[in-house]
Structure 1
Amino acid sequence: MVLSSSGQSYLLKMVPQESKEIRGWLTSIPLANSTMFLGFILAYSVGRVIYNLYFHPLARFPGPLLWRSSRLAYVIRMNQGKLAFDVLELYKKYGPVVRIAPNELAFSDADAWKDIYGHRVGATHGAEEMDKFHTFYRTKGEVLSISSGDREYHARLRRQLAYGFSERALREQETMIGGYITLLIKRLRENCVDRERFDPVTGQPAKKEVDMKMWYNWTTFDVIGDLVFGEAFGSLERQKEDPWVEAINGSIRFLGIINGVKHMGLESLFMWLVKLTNVNRAEHDRRMMDKLHRRVSMEKGRPDLIEGLLQKREEWGLSMHHLQANSSSVLIAGSETTSSMLSGVTYLLLTNRDAYERVVREVRTSFNSDDEITLTSVSRLTYMLACLNEALRSYPPVPFGMPRFVPKGGANVSGEFIPEDTVVAVWHWATYHNPKHWTEPFSYKPERFLGDPKYANDRFDVLQPFSMGPRNCIGRHLAYAEMRLVLAQILWNFDMEIVEKSKSWSDHLSYVLWDKPPLYVHLTPRN
């Protein structure tokens, strides 16, 4: 057999590094014409499919034929925005452990959460933690961040960032956060009616269709902008989306493309093209660096989210690109996901009027004015917390599974021995809608979190929207604080009704994060 030089190079990229015998054999083959090269490609591909189906270490785990034979089906469905929903159907058909790619397993139970993501305590003390799956989290040529770094790198950064996300720090920033929420309420009052048109029935100014998704987005980005950079994006002030916020939202669909290229092993060949066409990412990087330079020039000791990193910048040799990568992670995690949650709980409440009326009653009987709505006082709103928790189950801000890599020697997950180098994850949306775990999984029932006996058999321990263990979401306290304050103020100040064209709002796609359409609502201000 003979190969062309380009064919030989291509095949070496396709064959895993650990397959030393195959790589050695390829390098020994004489070089020749492209016809034989194509023939070898075909033979290799067929052989790879047969190996994946019958001889792979994961061959004993169930899953669809096409998904077990190649990563292609996974990539296609991810780029169609359907993958997170497909996994639920696979759980129903094959059980709590499903092979969704040649080297990847999807789990759906509480033990899997602890085994994959949890701290190594008790019987597992001293065992190696599962590292993040680098293909998913890292991109060649980009510096590491708290999101993509290994265990030691992450732990070091997290210690420095921890104070900025603590409850104490949030209380120090409550006035600033409250200022943006007050501005949100003011802008909504200004924009919820059309003073030039009148309702023919009531004779009052006609109601406008208010896109709550947009207003929530502006609010969370303004808050996180101030917390990270010391200055807001100005969307609420100008009542206009900042080009940077628009660029970040526009990048969501590229998440599927970027991950697809990496999963198929084509990163070296095509990532340059993906980056070239992703103009939103280029705008994001440029604006991020501009804001970061201004933040670095501010006084030291500012109680924000990246002050801890700035204190260690010289000691650790952190370049501006390292600061940029970490600021970007904090920015997106602290804005996009909170905005999704607020949009989700608003939609779910307005399409479940019993829950809406009950939470409105709770808010309006707990305070005498909206000035009394604070971080401390909202903690008394038990039904509203149940509404938020049920929304996290029904509409988790990250519907995908966050993949981990089984370390050398393998590991036990949910009572199954999983060989090393396997990718494993618990898939959020699919697990939270699995009828084996939840009574009426597609119904929005906050009562399930208040001890209603009808839901006594629900598996609340599988609900981990902020993940768990040493790499759980560092911004959990911030997210809950912001969601409670915003939702309480909205429910206090306005009566709400969903617009007809948004009643099917939840029927949208997910490219790792949700690709949310506008959420149109009618607001009636309370005097």
Structure 2
Amino acid sequence: MAPLGLETPVHYVLIACALAGVYVVGKVFYNIFLHPLRSFPGPFLWKISPIFRHYRLAQGDLPIYMKELHAKYGPIVRISPYELAFSDPQAWKDIYGHRHNGEPEFPKYDGFYRAVDNIPRGIINHFREEHSLLRRQLSHGFSDRSMQLQEPIIGSYVDLLIRRLREQCADGSTPLNMREWLNWTTFDVIGDLGFGSAFGCLEKSDYHPWVRLVTNSLRQTAFMMALSDMKLKPVIRMILKLKKLAITDNQALVREKLRQRIESGVERPDFVEGLIKQKEKGNLDFMQVAANSNTLIIAGSETTATLLSGAVYLLTTNPDKLEKLTQEVRSAFKNDDEITLLSVGKLSYMLACLNESLRRYPPVPTGMPRQSPKGGANVLGKYIAEGTVMAVWQYAINHDANHWTDPYAFAPERFLGDPKYKNDKLDAMQPFSVGPRNCIGRNLAYAEMRLILARIIYNFDLKVADDSRNWINQPVYTLWDKPALNIYLKPVAR
């Protein structure tokens, strides 16, 4: 017989392995046969563990694959032991909409919105009452009056964009990477509106180091979200302690820029003026203002540039639509000075093109998850147990043949009452979400996108380069991982 000191550890290991095996088998049995979500259809392995869902996320095709799952299993799909995905217009209202008769709001899922939990909560992930206060404080920066005051700021960068594009494509023989030029424009605009100083991207024809940090931090955050969703937040904390990440560097730069903005003492019609005033009143501390400023930088730049890139690609690969839009823009204005944030509002086909671009290439193609409130709730007439994670996945619902005629066609006419698309469910597409937490910057985003696209089309003839004809087939890690978008621009002679 082996000495007790050598034998016992082996026994402990065997017992631990046996217990672990019993736990895993029991968990699998519970998730399949006893879990409150057991009656909802979905891939068998995905019901067992969230790791299979996150594998598709790591592959970069989860939102696209979600469309296939809905085609196979229907409007409600179980995509992890505790998560449901929805593809139905009514689900937007049931999950995200205003609640009535004292019904509790569906809270945001912290596993997604607060993967890194040492950062103060902001307008994106704050609790209901605090969110309402923050929204009121920020709303002045997105009002019609503020937009009028902001127009000279935004217009100056669009002017600079047009000048720089003319310098780069004098003879129209060399394609330009429009992904970069559009990114540079929106980051310069948001830098000025957010902190009173531009990134200088357009001036230097290059990315500011901060812009690179923002891009890298978005990718890292997607990884952190996956860990958080699998209940591995201790691993996130360990990573943040052991490794210097773009996430923390970006936060440090935001705080530095914010201090400069506050110390300048200048009142401007920008996004953070209201937050700074609340800080002065003692209603917010510096870190809360910084967290919200960081949100504004990302939400007001990356998503706008992404949508414009998608619109340029979809228009140049559909020359008949581009020609129709070109005629509308060039017949509406006599010169560049007439193209303003206000005047672009009369371009109906332009708006239809942007809406169709939002449908085909949503800047946030994933789901924005909520949780079923205490006591559970009904969604699409089905009872959903308390704590269930749920979302409408934008790419999937935007391409669902149950809601759209020819879902993969680029057809702005579907938003203009064309009889061919009379059965389309336009309310299935909600790129700015719905309800009390919908995007506060929706009106500004539309105006900015119309202004930039109108100025480009007024000044240049566009043609996609051969190496970018399949540009839209790209991976997505929460946000799209956009490759170069090479476009020939030929200046219009006037």
2:107 is the alignment partner of 1:107: no
Q: Specify the alignment match of 2:106 in structure 1.
A: 130
> Are the counterparts in 1 of residues 122 and 291 from structure 2 also a CA contact under 8 Å?
yes
One-letter amino acid of the structure 1 residue matched with residue 106 of structure 2: M
8 Å CA contact 2:157–2:185 kept in 1: the answer is yes
Q: For 1:420, what is the secondary structure of its paired residue?
A: coil
Give the aligned residue type for 2:439.
Answer: C
**Residue 145 of structure 1, aligned match among 108, 113, 122:** 122
The Cα shift of 1:320 comes to 2.3
> Are 1:117 and 2:107 counterparts?
no
Q: State the Cα deviation string for residues 61-101 of structure 1 (Å, max 9, x = none).
A: 00000111111111111121111011100110010011011
Task: Label 1:38 to 1:296 Cα distance change in 2 as closer, same or farther (>3 A).
Answer: farther
**Partner amino acid for 1:415?**
G
Q: CA deviation at 1:270?
A: 4.0
1:40 aligns with 2:16: no
The answer for the alignment partner of 2:8 in structure 1 is none
* Aligned position for 1:227: 193
Identity %: 50
Q: Which moved more, 1:83-92 or 1:242-251?
A: 242-251
The offset of 1:237, in angstroms, is 1.3
What amino acid sits opposite 1:151 in the alignment? R
SS in 2 for 1:312: helix
Map 1:231-270 to 2 at 5 A: 231-270=197-236
Alignment of 1:26-425 (within 5 A): 33-120=12-99, 124-138=100-114, 139-193=116-170, 205=171, 207-273=173-239, 276-277=242-243, 279-299=245-265, 301-425=267-391
Q: 2:466 aligns with which of 500, 523, 527?
A: 500
Report the CA distance shift for 1:145/1:34 in structure 2 as closer, same or farther (over 3 A).
farther
The answer (yes or no) to whether the contact 1:146–1:158 under 8 Å persists in 2 is yes
In structure 2, the gaps of 5 or more residues are 1-10
Deviation at 1:300, TM superposition (A): 5.0
Alignment correspondent of 2:435 = 469
In the TM superposition, what whole-angstrom CA distance separates every residue of 1:458-499 from its partner, at most 9, and x where no partner exists? 000111000000000111111101100000000000011111
Q: Following TM superposition, by how much is the alpha carbon of 1:406 offset from its aligned partner in structure 2, in angstroms? A: 0.6
Letter of the 1:135 partner, please give it.
G
CA distance in 2, matches of 1:474, 1:515: 25
* CA deviation after TM superposition for structure 1 residue 209, in Å: 2.0
Q: Deviations over 1:135-187 (max 9, x none)?
A: 11112222111111111111110110011012221111101100000000000
Which letter maps to 1:128?
Answer: P
2:236 and 2:353 mapped to 1: Cα distance? 44
Which amino acid in 2 is paired with 1:407? P
In the TM superposition, what is the alpha-carbon distance from 1:248 to its structure 2 partner? 1.2
- The reply to whether residue 450 of structure 1 matches residue 388 of structure 2 is no
Quote the Cα distance in structure 1 between the aligned partners of 2:18 and 2:375.
Answer: 36
1:254 maps to amino acid: Q
Q: How many residues get paired?
A: 482
SS of residue matched to 1:105: strand
Letter in 1 for 2:141: G
Distance 1:384 1:277 in 2: 46
- In 2: Cα distance, 1:59 partner to 1:485 partner: 49
Q: Answer yes or no: is 1:524 the counterpart of 2:490.
A: yes
Task: State the TM-score, normalizing by the size of structure 1.
Answer: 0.89
Q: Is the 8 A contact 2:221 2:247 kept in 1?
A: no
CA distance in 2, matches of 1:315, 1:175: 30
* Separation (CA, whole Å) in 2 of partners of 1:144 and 1:35: 45
Aligned in 2, Cα 1:312/1:499: closer, same or farther, shift over 3 Å?
A: same
Gaps of 5+ in 1: 1-31, 194-204
| Structure 2 counterpart SS, 1:59 | coil
Deviations 1:365-417 (A, max 9, x none): 11111110012211111111100000010011100010001111111111111
Secondary structure of the equivalent of 1:33?
Answer: helix
Tell me, yes or no, if the aligned pair for 1:111 and 1:414 is still in contact at 8 Å.
yes
Measured in 2, the distance between the counterparts of 1:72 and 1:108 equals 22
CA distance in 1, matches of 2:446, 2:144: 11
Q: Distance in 2 between matches of 1:152 and 1:257?
A: 29
RMSD (CA atoms): 1.4
Q: 1:301 deviation in Å?
A: 3.3
Aligned partners of 1:251 and 1:278 also within 8 Å: no
Equivalent residues of 2:316, 2:464 under 8 A apart: yes
Write the letter of the residue equivalent to 2:228.
Answer: K
How far apart in 2 are the matches of 1:254 and 1:206? Answer: 38
Cα distance in 1 for partners of 2:361, 2:282 equals: 39
Q: CA deviation at 1:302?
A: 2.1
For normalisation by structure 2, the TM-score amounts to 0.95
For the Cα contact (< 8 Å) 1:221–1:233, is it kept in 2? Answer: yes
